[in-house]
Amino acid sequence: METVPNEFPPSEGNPASPGQPGGEPGFESAPGHIPKAGGIGLWMRDLLVSAIASVLIITFLYQPVRVEGTSMLPRLEDRDRLFINKFVYRISAIERGDVVVFHYPRDPEKSYIKRVIALPGDRLRIDHGNVWVNGKKLDEPYVPEEFQDTRSVAEMKIPLGTYYMMGDHRSISSDSREFGPVERSLIYGKAVFIYWPARDAGVVH
């Protein structure tokens, strides 16, 4: 399991009865009855198919990661476990508001998890903690008042092929305000579902 700092997975039917096509003389079966051995075999087969399907889905579509740090509070807490979708951005575009995992630009061996705030070509400025994109103040219900800060960033145009990232806990997050927009090639997954601890389980918004 990868650690992701905040800073920075035809019915078988009943045996044929005598007189029916394929029925064996002298063998009668009560309706709905399946021989015990056959039932266990079917159960084992279904279990094996389910296990293989789960492994394939997790291997090729999803990856479990662990959050380290608190810069994505309140939704993501330190040591939360979640699944990221590794395939979704091959068939769909990255959207503003997505929570993504990417290689830290200053050290690609590390991975960060942040929220996409601005897209390529957007004009962005931050005025005492208020984020403006393309001349409109961004509505950010995911940032509680107690997690806001008063930092400012001069207006800039997000370069093509890059994305501006910020943590939801603005007062402690190390993000694009420090290391700049993130190149598309460094983004490798979208956070989709927290599975542990159980009290935090749910879709990541």
Residues marked as catalytic:
71, 114
Strands 162-166 and 153-157: unpaired
Interatomic CA distance for residues 90 and 188, integer angstroms: 10
Q: What radius of gyration, in Å, describes the C-alpha atoms of the chain?
A: 25
Residues 6+ apart with CB under 8 A from 183: 105, 161, 162
Q: Which residue has the tokens 């956070």?
A: 191
Interatomic CA distance for residues 153 and 179, integer angstroms: 13
The verdict on whether omega for the bond into residue 5 sits within 30 degrees of 0, i.e. cis, is no
Beta strands in the chain (DSSP E): 2-5, 62-68, 81-85, 99-104, 107-118, 123-127, 130-133, 136-137, 153-157, 162-166, 182-183, 187-196, 202-203
